[in-house]
């Protein structure tokens, strides 16, 4: 069995590649980073280390790589794949769509016996596989699209494992937190799919992806942005400051209220979930930089992402949004010169002011009380 995985980065090697290899797949990574591609081609294996006291290590074998800039090579690999996964960043999905589309065209036109193919985007976003499907379908003609409707499935998924930026001599070695969870929407899959060991299949993904995105990722980005305002360079240092921790906790109480109401979660169990997530953030064996966790602030301030969506839901429910608004305000202070989205955000704030910038990126009305709350917080920071 062959899996094609787009993105040999931190989550690609440290989570998806590892799980697929353990489940018996020969994993071929497609990446545009030539250092990673060459090393994977030459060595056919890499090591994953757990961030725990004993630093448990596992060697992932039977892996290979292709150059993701070579459209024809990508398409040929799509033809032969039994499963396709991605972990490239939600904004990059449109860039991998042409190779997938070309490969599907070849694959679906190549004969009558078609095996169903699952394409799973493992990105931090609601409906990432569905977004990828839209990018791919936009490139297919009517005929191939109708074949794809019969043989190709794009189940959405939620992936959870903290994998920081790696600083090792070996470019393939990757250190990961011990915890992981990979949940896939079974209702969007072929009826007789073969389950992959390590993936949890559910009939309704919505509670899983929203709970994950609006707890792990909301808490994480609030820690990064508030931590950054207080001069901390890592999540671990930021959360060690009780002031920062209480703001993160406050934001998770706000999203928690929304989630408990929306999905009828048990409030005590959700509180335990919050406590567990905060425990993962302070893992002393990890060093996770605030610049990674806060990366791409425009994506994180967008209407469907981890700050604005739960805040608008909370506002609609008549509940508090103080800490989520504080997170948005601190996101607007995220001035990181090698993050293109942070640079764009700072330029916009300088040229148009904070109200116009927040309105533009969050799509909230300039007089929306949540936006006004964020602006007031921003002006005090």
Ligand X SMILES: NC(=O)c1ccc[n+]([C@@H]2O[C@H](COP(=O)([O-])OP(=O)(O)OC[C@H]3O[C@@H](n4cnc5c(N)ncnc54)[C@H](O)[C@@H]3O)[C@@H](O)[C@H]2O)c1
Ligand Y SMILES: O=P(O)(O)OC[C@@H](O)[C@@H](O)[C@H](O)[C@H](O)CO
* Shortest Å distance, C-beta 4 to ligand X: 10
Q: Does 162 bind ligand Y (CB under 6 A)?
A: yes
Judged by CB under 6 A, the chain residues 136 through 165 that form the site for ligand X are: 159, 161-163
- The entry of ligand Y, ligand X, none near residue 88 (CB within 5 to 8 angstroms by kind) is ligand X
- According to DSSP, the residues that pair with 219 across neighbouring strands are none
Q: According to CB under 6 A, which one of 95, 106, 360, 368 is a site residue for ligand X?
A: 95
Question: How far is C-alpha 24 from the chain's CA centre?
Answer: 24
- The entry of ligand X, ligand Y, none near residue 216 (CB within 5 to 8 angstroms by kind) is ligand Y
User: How far is the C-alpha of 180 from the C-alpha of 216, rounded, in Å?
Assistant: 12
Q: According to CB under 6 A, which one of 13, 107, 133, 161 is a site residue for ligand Y?
A: 161
- Pairing, β 57-61 against β 45-50: antiparallel
- The entry of ligand Y, ligand X, none near residue 139 (CB within 5 to 8 angstroms by kind) is none
- The entry of ligand Y, ligand X, none near residue 293 (CB within 5 to 8 angstroms by kind) is ligand Y
User: How far is the C-alpha of 179 from the C-alpha of 182, rounded, in Å?
Assistant: 11
Q: Does 283 bind ligand Y (CB under 6 A)?
A: no
Q: Which is nearer to ligand X, 17 or 256 (CB)?
A: 17
Beta strands in the chain (DSSP E): 2-6, 26-31, 45-50, 57-61, 63-67, 83-86, 117-121, 152-153, 157-160, 174-176, 181-185, 200-202
Judged by CB under 6 A, the chain residues 194 through 223 that form the site for ligand Y are: 216-217, 220
Stretch that binds ligand X, among 19-27, 29-37, 107-115, 316-324 (CB under 6 A): 29-37
User: How far is the C-alpha of 115 from the C-alpha of 150, rounded, in Å?
Assistant: 10
Question: 188-193: long-range contacts at Cβ-Cβ below 8 A with a sequence spacing of 24 or more?
Answer: 188/129, 188/153, 188/154, 188/155, 188/156, 189/118, 189/153, 189/155, 190/116, 190/118, 190/153, 193/116, 193/118, 193/153
- Residue 5 annotated as binding? yes
Q: Does 234 bind ligand X (CB under 6 A)?
A: no
**φ, ψ of residue 76 in degrees (nearest 5):** -60, -35
Q: Does 240 bind ligand X (CB under 6 A)?
A: no
Q: According to CB under 6 A, which one of 92, 139, 190, 278 is a site residue for ligand X?
A: 92
Q: Does 160 bind ligand Y (CB under 6 A)?
A: yes
Q: What one-character DSSP code corresponds to residue 296?
A: -
Largest CA distance in the chain: 65
Judged by CB under 6 A, the chain residues 124 through 143 that form the site for ligand Y are: 124
Residue numbers in the known binding site for NAD(+) are: 3-14
Annotated binding site: 3-14
Can you give the binding site for ligand X, defined by CB under 6 A? 6-12, 30-33, 36, 68, 87-90, 92, 95-96, 123-124, 159, 161-163
């Amino acid at each position: 069995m062959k899996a094609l995985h787009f993105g040999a980065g931190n989550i690609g090697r440290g989570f998806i590649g590892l799980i697929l290899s353990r489940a018996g797949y020969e994993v071929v990574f497609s990446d545009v980073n030539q250092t990673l591609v060459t090393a994977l081609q030459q060595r056919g294996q890499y090591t994953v280390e757990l961030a725990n006291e004993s630093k448990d290590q596992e060697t992932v074998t039977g892996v290979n790589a292709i150059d993701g800039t070579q459209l024809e090579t990508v398409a040929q690999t799509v033809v032969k794949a039994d499963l396709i996964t991605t972990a490239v960043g939600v904004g990059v999905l449109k860039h991998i769509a042409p190779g997938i589309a070309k490969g599907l065209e070849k694959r679906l036109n190549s004969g009558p016996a078609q095996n169903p193919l699952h394409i799973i985007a493992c990105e931090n976003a609601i409906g990432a596989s569905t977004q990828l499907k839209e990018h791919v379908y936009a490139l297919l003609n009517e005929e191939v699209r109708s074949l794809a409707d019969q043989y190709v499935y794009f189940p959405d998924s939620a992936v959870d494992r903290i994998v920081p930026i790696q600083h090792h001599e070996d470019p393939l070695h990757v250190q990961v937190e011990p915890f992981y969870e990979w949940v896939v929407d079974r209702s969007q899959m072929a009826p007789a799919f073969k389950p992959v060991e390590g993936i949890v299949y559910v009939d309704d993904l919505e509670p899983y992806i929203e709970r994950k995105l609006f707890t792990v990722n909301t808490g994480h980005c609030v820690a990064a942005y508030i931590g950054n305002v207080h001069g901390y360079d890592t999540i671990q240092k930021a959360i060690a400051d009780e002031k920062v921790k209480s703001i993160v906790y406050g934001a998770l109480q706000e999203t928690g209220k929304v989630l408990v109401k929306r999905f009828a979660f048990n409030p005590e169990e959700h509180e335990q979930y919050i406590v567990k997530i905060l425990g993962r953030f302070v893992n002393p064996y990890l060093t996770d930089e605030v610049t990674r966790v806060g990366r791409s602030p425009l994506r994180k301030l967008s209407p469907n992402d981890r700050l604005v969506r739960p805040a608008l839901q909370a506002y609609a429910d008549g509940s508090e949004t103080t800490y989520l608004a504080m997170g948005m305000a601190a996101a607007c202070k995220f001035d990181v010169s090698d993050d293109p989205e942070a640079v764009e955000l700072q330029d916009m704030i300088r040229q148009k002011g904070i109200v116009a910038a927040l309105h533009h990126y969050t799509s909230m009305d300039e007089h929306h009380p949540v936006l006004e709350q964020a602006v007031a917080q921003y002006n005090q920071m």
